[in-house]
Amino acid sequence: MESCVSRCNEKFTRGAACQCDRQCARHGDCCEDYEELCTAEEDPKEPEPFLELEGETEEVPATNLYSAPDSCRGRCLEAFDKHHQCHCNARCRDFGNCCEDFESLCDHEGFSHSSDAITKEELQSISEKIYRADTNKARKEDIIINSQNCISPSETRDQVDHCPEPLFSYVNEELFSKPTYAAFINLLNNYQRATGRGEHFSAQQLAEQDAFLREAFLNRYSSEQEFVNDLKNMWFGLYSRGNDKGDSSGFEHVFSGEVKKGKVTGFHNWIRFYMQEKEGLVDYYSHIYDGPWDSYPDVLAMQFNWDGYYKEVGSAFIGSSPEFEFALYSLCFIARPGKMCQLSLGGYPLAIQTYTWDKSTYGNGKKYIATAYVVSSTQ
């Protein structure tokens, strides 16, 4: 598994893909969500995120606004936590333990609407339709992968390069001239990978976000603009993972990749990987999982070095179009925020894990994406 859910401060687990014990940061083998789930109350050096109130210039610590223990402000559809006085998850009504403001803050249309209304079977049906509709995906002849050595999960912390050759032997770069690919690639260099450094977008870069969303998605809301606005906030809205206000976003983390405390976090996209490998910035080390698909998109869980920083387990679709990945991750974040999302692609089961960013919100308590990634059978 690649998560610290229900594992915080457990003992070192030999054979696990990543760790959640108190020493994992020292050894550089923490799971991707260790800091969000396990260190929020332990790291006094982490400054509180700030929210700039609309129409005001005063900055107020976000915890004062969003984290009241008896309120759902900033907590809509969070995972159940027995330590809370009241709850804001999708099933709190069933147990009669919702916070008093649950209905006013959480029970409304949009991304904070109860997600469990969508069944597993419906999600699997939708994901199969998305799979069949991905006409922009790579053909078998468009990509040649040289996956080389497969290692066991217990070997991932060794940081040994088991593969002397690049992962991508060939990619037909005519794919990148397609409108969605081109719009996606325009976004990748708009970020500083180190957390703690604020992101500042030019008018051109903001226009590139809009262009990608228009290229990638059809109307799903009462109006196309409403849909695009929610997606833009959910994926591109800035929040703080480090010392600087607005240094991260869901898009940057998942698709472009970040470095925090000497480790690669996120970076779950094959196009980004190929382009960085082509420039000599990524060194492919090994893989622990290769999916069962005999055509694209496929799934690979791999280890690599990104310009001096190690990624212990990074799962990614291979050969998928940008709109395919964006659609599946968005679907799972909306339908199963912070949970495992069970899908089906080409008749094979597949799971996606998403996490919400809980330290700040947008709109009426809606959550940003913290991360989203494919969960392989070894994770």
How far is residue 343's CA from residue 129's CA, in Å, rounded to a whole number? 11
How far is residue 162's CA from residue 150's CA, in Å, rounded to a whole number? 9
DSSP state of 148: -
Does the active-site annotation cover 311?
yes
Whether the CB-CB separation of 49 and 360 falls below 8 Å is answered with yes
Catalytic residue among 263, 287, 311, 359: 311
**Residue spans of alpha helices (H) in the chain:** 24-27, 34-38, 62-66, 92-95, 102-105, 120-133, 179-188, 203-216, 224-236, 250-251, 270-278, 322-335
Catalytic residue among 87, 137, 268, 367: 268
Q: Quick one: tokens of 315?
A: 């799962």
Q: Quick one: tokens of 310?
A: 């190690």
CA 146: distance to chain centroid? 26
Burial (CB count <10 Å: 0-12, 13-18, 19+), residue 247: buried
Catalytic residue among 253, 263, 287, 367: 253
Does the active-site annotation cover 45?
no
One DSSP character per residue, 26-60 reads HHT-B-TTHHHHHSTTT-TTSPPPEEE-TT---EE
The residues annotated as belonging to the active site are 253, 268, 311
